[in-house]
Structure 1
């Protein structure tokens, strides 16, 4: 069963995502970052190239031919999901394919609208019996 972690009070969700991806990749996990908004994936792609001078995060954006070999995938499609270690949800709704993964991370920002949508996702997962964890990242 998928373990679901909510990371709360994150000031910059894309920078935080890069840090999570760096940690997961360093631990040997394969990562999928999901959003149905192309601009989010584009911003994350750019940030992964520039957020650290010391770390390289080998990643591809949906549709790239090397998607099956690359350990980090940025996608808006369930069809592009080729590995199932860690899913990071950057969308407002739950990913329809999240149950294929060992772990799911939900990143919750500071905005009240964002928190309200996260509460709906939390309730969705809880009602289905998924193990849930919360981590308050205020100031992190």
Structure 2
């Protein structure tokens, strides 16, 4: 079963956290898929990855575009995995099904949004009941990520 890591955003935004986590995933030698249900949010993430740092970008593509299998990072709303990703990032409350093929799943949610917070709690509870290998990460006052559960 996949490891499922919850990232509780309180001090940072998705725009700040997602590129860092994706960069670490690529440094590990893994490919990544980002599941984003909302098309507008997917386009915003697409733009953010191209402009992540002044001196660099994170190479990526959309799962429904040509050459998706060659991309190190894929943005999608669906369940396809043409690039053989080992890591799945789930944002904006996207569908949690079909996660077994991944080494690690990241559920990133905004703790300042009550709906997102309640959704994450419900997911945690359901996954825990299924015996999933869970970890919960939150930011310290200094901004570092700490495993809290």
Of the structure 1 ranges 76-85 and 23-32, higher mean CA displacement relative to structure 2 is found in 76-85
Matches within 5 A, 1:79-94: 79-94=80-95
**How many pairs were matched up?**
140
Partner of residue 6, structure 2: 6
What do residues 11-49 of structure 1 show as CA deviations (whole Å, max 9, x unaligned)? Answer: 311321111111111221100000111111100000001
Distance 1:42 1:14, change over 3 A: same
Structure 2 residue 125 is matched with structure 1 residue 118? no
TM-score, length basis structure 1? 0.91
**Higher normalized contact order (CA 8 Å, seq sep 6+, divided by chain length):** 1
Partner secondary structure for residue 78 of structure 1: coil
Partner of residue 38, structure 1: 39
TM-score, length basis structure 2? 0.85
Q: Which runs of 5+ in 1 are unaligned?
A: none
- 1:2–1:102 Cα contact (<8 Å) kept: yes
The whole-number CA distance in structure 2 between the counterparts of 1:40 and 1:107 is 14
1:67, distance to aligned residue in structure 2 (A):
0.4
Q: Which runs of 5+ in 2 are unaligned?
A: 144-149
Matches within 5 A, 1:1-140: 1-10=1-10, 11-109=12-110, 110-139=112-141, 140=143
Of the structure 1 ranges 34-43 and 11-20, higher mean CA displacement relative to structure 2 is found in 11-20
1:113, distance to aligned residue in structure 2 (A):
1.9
Greater strand fraction, Structure 1 or Structure 2: 2
The runs of at least 4 aligned residues of structure 1 exceeding 6 Å deviation read none
Greater helix fraction, Structure 1 or Structure 2: 1
